Amino acid sequence: MVELVPSILSADFSKLAVEIEAAERGGGSVIHIDIMDGHFVPNLTMGPPVVKSLRKVTSLPLDCHLMIDNADKFIAEFAEAGANWIAVHYEACRHLHRTLQLIAQHGMEPAVVINPATRVDFLIEVLPMVHHVLVMSVNPGFGGQKFIPFSLDKIRQLAGLRAELNLNYRIEVDGGVAHDTIASVVEAGADLLVAGSAVFDSGHPEREARVLLKMAREAEQQRQGQNFHSRQAAAI
């Protein structure tokens, strides 16, 4: 089942708990937290103390997207803060396999992220050990950017590899996921739909989350129908 993953980067930071509750009422089922260090990406945001505070106000999984160098140094702190999922960038980890192991050793779900310019093929070796793969459909660093269309090919490729290799990682997409793009992202095969500005910018997160989730569910039904028909055609 597809899930809507509101990204609090576009929320009002002075009332994060209220914003999260509203997005949750609208159907958001995982909370995406963007951790930026001003070094790997040209922006600064939040760290483990914010995760720790948010842990007290929601029981939803906290999906931490680390856009930082030296991720290893902070894994224990994120675990103590109550993070559930930790995604690290392929481009920021010199020893990616070790970092993913470290995340799992701390009781969290490990995930890998790729930037728009990074090929899906580079992930083959680590696919069996990740909870999800995060496809960046904008260059990381800021909310409100335009969706990069070739990301759809990468989502399709990851869905194909998952079937071919008999794996069960989930496919998450982040950046420019909004009312005009969410259906095509789901049709391509994404399961976890991160949306920041589309949920929060209007000031009505509950309403927007509900609309986006409805669009995603409809696209998912279409996708399931198409898969069914192609399986039937293959059987003939």
> Known catalytic residues?
34, 174
Tokens of 55: 């842990």
Partner whose binding site includes residue 195, from ligand DX5, Zn ion, none (CB under 5 to 8 Å by kind) = ligand DX5
* Binder of ligand DX5 out of 96, 138, 192, 219 (CB under 6 A): 138
Q: Is 177 in the site for ligand DX5 (CB under 6 A)?
A: yes
Of 101 and 214, the one with the shorter C-beta distance to ligand DX5 is 214
Among 133, 171, 195, 212, binds ligand DX5 (CB under 6 A): 195
Q: Is 32 in the site for ligand DX5 (CB under 6 A)?
A: yes
Nearest distance from C-beta of residue 205 to Zn ion, angstroms = 17
Q: Cα angle vertex 115, ends 204, 111, to 5°?
A: 80
Contact pick of 111, 114, 194, 216 for ligand DX5 (by CB under 6 A): 194
48 part of the interface to ligand DX5, by CB under 6 A: no
Site string for ligand DX5, 10-29 (x = CB under 6 A): x-------------------
Q: Which residue's CB is nearer to ligand DX5, number 102 or number 182?
A: 182
φ, ψ for residue 46 (rounded to 5)? Answer: -130, 175
Q: What are phi and psi of 3, to 5 degrees?
A: -130, 145
* DSSP letter string, the chain: --EEEEBGGGS-GGGHHHHHHHHHHTT--SEEEEEEBSSSSS-B---HHHHHHHHTT--S-EEEEEE-S-GGGGHHHHHHHT--EEEEEGGG-TTHHHHHHHHHHTTSEEEEEE-TTS-GGGGGGGGGG-SEEEEESS-TT-SSPPP-TTHHHHHHHHHHHHHHTT---EEEEESS-STTTHHHHHHHT-SEEEESHHHHTTS-HHHHHHHHHHHHHHHHHHHHHHHHHHHHHHH-
| Contact track, ligand DX5, 49-78, x by CB under 6 A | ----------------x-------------
Q: Which of residues 139-178 bind Zn ion (CB under 5 A)?
A: 174
Nearest distance from C-beta of residue 226 to Zn ion, angstroms: 28
The only residue of 3, 24, 34, 63 in contact with Zn ion, by rule CB under 5 A:
34
Is residue 140 a contact point for ligand DX5 (CB under 6 A)?
yes
- Bridge partners (DSSP) listed for residue 33: 64
Residue choice 61, 82, 116, 141 for contact with ligand DX5 (CB under 6 A): 141
Using CB under 6 A, list all residues that contact ligand DX5: 7, 9-10, 32, 34, 65, 138, 140-145, 174-177, 194-198
